[in-house]
Amino acid sequence: MSTQAGETSSPQGHGDDALASPDRPAAQDRGSLTVSDRVVERVAGYAVTLVSHATAAPRRVLGVNVGNARPEDAAHVDARVQGDTATIEATIAVRWPESVQQVATQVRQTVREQVQTITAVRVDHVDIDVVSLHVPEKKTRRVE
pLDDT at 132: 84
Is residue 118 within a helix (H) or strand (E), and if so which, with residue range? Answer: helix 100-119
Across all residues in the chain, what is the average pLDDT? 79
| Whether the model pTM is above 0.85 | no
Peptide bond into 136 cis (omega under 30): no
Q: 34-134 has which fold?
A: Alpha-Beta Plaits (3.30.70)
| 36 pLDDT higher than 90 | yes
What confidence category does residue 2 fall into, taking pLDDT thresholds of 50, 70 and 90?
very low
Beta-carbon contacts of residue 76 (< 8 Å; ≥ 6 apart) = 45, 56, 57, 90, 91
The contacts of residue 58 (CB under 8 Å, 6+ apart) are 65, 66, 67, 68, 69, 93, 132
User: Does the pLDDT at position 57 exceed 70?
Assistant: yes
Domain residues of the chain, as ranges?
34-134
